[in-house]
Amino acid sequence: MLRILLAEDEKLERDALKFIIQKNMTAALEIAEAENGRSAIAAVRTFKPDIVLLDIKMPGINGIEAAWKIRSIDPQIKIIFITAYNQFEYAQEAIQIGVTDFIVKPASEERIMELLSRLVSSLSQEKQELMQKEDAWLRLDKFSNYLETEFIYNIAVRGMAEDKFTAYLSILDMDFHAGRGGVLRILYDSYPLSIQNTFQKDILKNRSIAILKKKLLNEKIHCLVNVEFSSPFILFYSANEQPSLAHKENFAELLRAAAAEIKTTLSLIVDIGFGKLFLTPEKAPASFFGARNSLISMAEMAADAATDADADPANHQADHARTLAIPLEYEIDIEQAVIQGERAKAKEIFQSIQLWLQKSAFAFPVRKKLLLGLAAVLQHAAIAQLPDRAQEPVSNDLFDLTAEEDLFTSFSLLLNELLDGVISSQQMENSSAIHIAKEYIAENFRRDISLNDIAAHCSLSNCYFSKLFKQHMEINVIEYITYMRIRESKKLLIDTDLSIKEIGSAIGYNDANYFARVFRRVEQLSPRAYRNKKIQKQQNNADTSESPFKTPGNTQ
């Protein structure tokens, strides 16, 4: 919606300007009026116009004074001075204000519309550039988050060569001197309110990480976090030598203080494990492995402290399992296998997990609890790969099982079911994206939409989406939008008495002449000729179809 403010003390002049603009403007339009400089300033605050036509000579606050105030309220407003004098004694001050142009009274209709058309085009281009810039920032932010996650995963689990490590530092704009691997474990059972779903867990996880980052940043220690895992990996690093990071005791005390702050702020208990200091990337996996082991040590100490001589050993182990977990490397690898739809790899890792559990000293309730936790992680990971992420988790009866053999069999069935969903989703991904795009176009072709809008809605890059659409539809995106618009315009031409200009505007063409040219190119005749032809055909059919007599040779 384009907003224009007419600030002119003579009502006849305002009425004339308003008539000319409404008569010639094809864009959706809203016009406000002001009779002096003071009311113009007030209207700018409430009406928020895109363009102000401002008479220089007005009683009280004149146009020059009003323009200075308007510019201070909104520097982006386009201001046009209206003057009865063809002497630009105000030119220098107008330049300082940033006035777009002058209209000298009495101005011709052509001059007014030529100037306004140019401004509308300029506003449209500025809006497009702003949207593209915002889109670029959103894509960059999304890419940065993905890159950070990938970087932490590779350096923690797979290891990384020096040259690749240096490349990541450059892309992520990191000034790295030394680092430590870390793992954050959140004890959701300690939260005073019942946690019903993974969304609530994600909120608590993100808030905990934010508190931790802020606390460490005060000591000039930075954090990169991979939040994809239930127990997030953290890279603690500094840009130069920091005693609070380098000295184990100092760093442990700092993390304890951060955990205490999280508990105070969120009423949530967290454990933060960390490994040895490293200066080069090949030492990083050992540091993250040490972080995981330190978490296990914390859990064992907590369990020992809580031991009650009269407690049931099975119940004690079940409490112990709240902080103990399946080895982190197993959890990460099987989660990634599910995300990638790698069935053979996922089954192989589960066999390792099964063997680890069977060799452990845990009683059945503990093993069951650990597998239930892993099932929740994998369900969350699998659902995130599906088009409808709000669907219910896959049904499984792990909760009700009482035998170990049934537990492992049931988990294998669940794993297969999750993999079936992910693999099927991957196979349908392309056709699903086209379906989503067609639905979006069908709902939005009546307004000004672009390839950028549609690709972003499908969460695909412009280049990939454009190629994918052409492969599936055999026409490009712009041609398809044109097809949808022309199809709709043909219905409106036949079924309504709207003018050609109104129909063009209704289907997304603000320029009636451009609509007519596009229609002629597609249908080989003008909109008006198409309407007349269809009306004539309907009349002819009506004249012949109502005869009560059968003509010779008519077998009906």
Q: What is the pLDDT of residue 370?
A: 84
Q: What is the pLDDT of residue 46?
A: 87
Q: Is the pTM of this model over 0.75?
A: no
In contact, 71 and 78? CB cutoff 8 Å: no
Return d(Cα 58, Cα 7) in angstroms, integer: 9
> Mean pLDDT in each 10-residue stretch from start to end of the chain (556 residues)?
88 88 82 91 90 87 88 87 64 63 79 86 78 55 65 79 85 88 89 77 88 93 84 91 90 93 91 92 88 66 46 44 63 84 91 89 82 81 61 54 80 87 67 82 90 82 75 84 92 92 91 90 90 85 53 38
Residue with the two structure tokens 């930075």: 222
Percentages helix, strand, coil for the chain (3-state, rounded to 5) are: 65, 10, 25
Q: What is the pLDDT of residue 87?
A: 46
Q: Which of 479, 523, 480, 488 is nearest to 506 (CA)?
A: 488
The number of beta carbons lying within 10 Å of the beta carbon of residue 541 is 10
Strand, helix or coil at 101?
strand
- Domain 476-540 bears CATH identifier 3.30.365.10: no
CATH 1.10.10.60 in the chain, residue ranges: 476-540
In contact, 186 and 209? CB cutoff 8 Å: no
Q: What is the pLDDT of residue 426?
A: 63
Q: Which CATH superfamily is domain 149-305 in?
A: Reverse transcriptase/Diguanylate cyclase domain (3.30.70.270)
pLDDT tens digits, one per residue of 404-424: 778 888 888 889 888 888 777
Bridge partner list, 179: 237, 278
- The answer for residues whose C-beta is within 8 angstroms of residue 374's C-beta and 6 or more apart is 326, 331, 334, 353, 411
Helices (H), 3-36: 11-24
Q: What is the pLDDT of residue 331?
A: 82
The number of beta carbons lying within 10 Å of the beta carbon of residue 173 is 7
CATH 3.40.50.2300 in the chain, residue ranges: 2-107
Residue with the two structure tokens 């209704």: 506
Architecture of domain 2-107: 3-Layer(aba) Sandwich (3.40)
CATH 3.30.70.270 in the chain, residue ranges: 149-305
Residue 328 sits at φ, ψ, to 5 deg, of -60, -35
